[in-house]
């Protein structure tokens, strides 16, 4: 059942993306010939008015076919005035930008709801699990609040503090001694112990985890919206920087594909955690919107880029120029897809996506 629900989740994101293009095109007076969920060959189709609604056999996306998207196509004279390339630049940008905009707005709405249902976590870090037989056993206890590491006070947001503790512990190689300042039963005390090397995680550890629920706070609509914007900015900047450094081997390993997104969604559904599932779908919707805005064809951002170039130039860009640029863009998209798919296959073969 989880695979079906994950599939339906992806289908909804695609439908809403294409619906953005569809309704925007209708609103500015363009002629929409087809609205298709998934790619051909078509499994089913039905015509309503001037638009054909279809379902394709290849579940890798969807599309809205607007008359005149290709300047070279033959257009009946009675429809020529409604063709895409006959419209002002602003109308074209509105229509193309509507798809990614829907995904980004949807991601914001879902994330805000997620933060309202399960508020953000704030410092201090609270000890959760303490692994038996590890250095932390007998030193730390569940409920301890971690205030400092190696006499350095922890400051900043929750995730920054987690990172600082991880880095500090990892800096003590070969069983080096690390110290923690904690609060227990209202009293501050310092505990010390030696680190150990975790071969699976490939870093030095002390042997404890955090109880995020103990650090979680309630968030109203305003705070939840602020957290959603902050999270979206972090994800967007990370996505852009990772793709921008595609020739860096470590960064390249972080790239994923639709297969990884589907499998991650399926696993969260199996865990029967609705909040986490919604969060994952919000991330996928955001990624779909952001990546589609990259300025090269055949992505939406490529169409926006050339529309703006036409506005700056003051006249239409030759289709041959856009066609050549499209080949380059298609090659880049294909390269990203192949790299992401290879990474996802490797993750599946080596234990999945780390969901616990």
By three-state DSSP, how is residue 200 classified?
coil
Among the options 18, 227, 231, 263, which is catalytic?
18
Say if residue 10 is in the same domain as residue 110: yes
- Res 25: pLDDT: 95
How many CA atoms does the CB half-sphere of 219 hold within 13 Å? 23
Domain assignment present for residue 172? The answer is yes
Say if residue 311 is in the same domain as residue 332: yes
Q: Is 33 a catalytic residue?
A: no
Domain assignment present for residue 329? The answer is yes
Domain assignment present for residue 252? The answer is no
| Mean pLDDT, the chain cut into blocks of 10 residues (356 residues total) | 67 89 95 91 92 88 87 83 91 96 96 89 92 92 95 91 93 90 94 91 91 87 91 81 62 51 54 76 86 85 90 84 76 65 52 41
Evaluate the CA torsion angle 45, 51, 24, 92 in order and state its sign: positive
As a whole number of angstroms, the distance between CA 342 and CA 126 comes to: 37
Residue with tokens 């969604």: 265
- Res 186: pLDDT: 92
Say if residue 40 is in the same domain as residue 69: yes
As a whole number of angstroms, the distance between CA 173 and CA 196 comes to: 8
Say if residue 98 is in the same domain as residue 9: yes
User: Of 171, 189, 215, which residue is a domain's last?
Assistant: 215
Say if residue 110 is in the same domain as residue 191: no
Domain assignment present for residue 69? The answer is yes
As a whole number of angstroms, the distance between CA 207 and CA 306 comes to: 54
- Res 259: pLDDT: 47
Domain assignment present for residue 233? The answer is no
Say if residue 61 is in the same domain as residue 137: no
- Res 39: pLDDT: 86
- Res 1: pLDDT: 57
pTM of the model: 0.73
β-partners of residue 291 are none
User: Of 155, 186, 215, which residue is a domain's last?
Assistant: 215
DSSP count for the chain of H helices, then E strands = 10, 10
Say if residue 209 is in the same domain as residue 276: no
By three-state DSSP, how is residue 221 classified?
helix
Say if residue 100 is in the same domain as residue 155: no
As a whole number of angstroms, the distance between CA 196 and CA 235 comes to: 32
Say if residue 145 is in the same domain as residue 90: no
Per-residue buried b or exposed e for 213-247, using 16+ beta carbons within 10 Å of the residue's own CB: eebeeebeeebbbebbeebbeebbeebeebbeeee
Q: Is 92 exposed, middle or buried (0-12, 13-18, 19+ CB in 10 A)?
A: buried
Which token pair is 58?
């290849």
Domain assignment present for residue 325? The answer is yes
Domain assignment present for residue 60? The answer is yes
Domain assignment present for residue 142? The answer is yes
Residue whose C-alpha is closest to residue 116's, from 226, 234, 12: 226
Say if residue 108 is in the same domain as residue 54: yes
Say if residue 59 is in the same domain as residue 98: yes
Number of domains in the chain: 2
User: Of 215, 249, 281, which residue is a domain's last?
Assistant: 215
- Res 127: pLDDT: 95
Say if residue 191 is in the same domain as residue 284: no
Q: Give residue 145's domain range.
A: 125-215
Give me the CATH number covering residue 188: 2.30.42.10
How do strand 203-205 and strand 196-198 relate by DSSP bridges?
Answer: antiparallel
């Amino acid at each position: 059942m989880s695979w079906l629900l994950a599939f339906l989740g992806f289908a909804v994101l695609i439908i809403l993306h294409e619906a953005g293009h569809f309704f925007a095109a209708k609103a500015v007076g363009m002629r929409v010939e087809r609205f298709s969920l998934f790619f051909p060959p078509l499994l089913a189709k039905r015509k309503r008015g001037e638009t054909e609604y279809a379902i394709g056999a290849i579940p890798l996306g969807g599309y809205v076919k607007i008359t005149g998207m290709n300047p070279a196509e033959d257009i009946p004279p009675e429809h020529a005035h409604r063709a895409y390339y006959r419209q002002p630049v602003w109308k074209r940008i509105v229509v193309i930008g509507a798809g990614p905009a829907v995904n980004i707005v949807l991601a914001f709405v879902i994330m805000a709801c997620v933060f309202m249902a399960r508020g953000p976590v704030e410092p201090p870090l609270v000890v959760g699990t303490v692994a038996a037989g590890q250095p932390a056993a007998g030193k730390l206890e569940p409920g301890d609040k971690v205030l400092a590491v190696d006499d350095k006070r922890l400051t900043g947001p929750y995730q920054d503090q987690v990172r600082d503790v991880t880095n500090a512990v990892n800096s003590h190689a070969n069983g080096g001694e690390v110290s923690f300042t904690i609060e227990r039963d209202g009293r501050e005390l310092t505990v010390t112990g030696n680190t150990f090397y975790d071969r699976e995680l490939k870093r030095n550890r002390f042997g404890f985890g955090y109880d995020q629920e103990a650090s979680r706070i309630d968030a109203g609509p305003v705070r939840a919206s602020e957290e959603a914007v902050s999270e979206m900015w972090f994800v967007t900047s990370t996505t852009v920087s990772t793709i921008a450094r595609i020739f860096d081997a470590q960064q390249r390993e972080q790239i994923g594909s639709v297969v990884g997104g589907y499998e991650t969604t399926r696993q969260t559904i199996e865990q029967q955690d609705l909040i986490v599932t919604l969060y994952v779908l919000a991330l996928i919707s955001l990624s779909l919107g952001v990546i589609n805005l990259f300025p090269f064809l055949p992505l939406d951002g490529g169409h926006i880029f050339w529309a703006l170039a036409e506005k700056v130039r003051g006249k239409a860009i030759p289709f041959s120029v856009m066609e050549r640029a499209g080949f380059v863009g298609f090659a880049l998209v294909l390269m990203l897809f192949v790299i992401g798919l290879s990474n996802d296959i490797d993750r599946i073969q080596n234990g999945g996506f780390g969901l616990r």
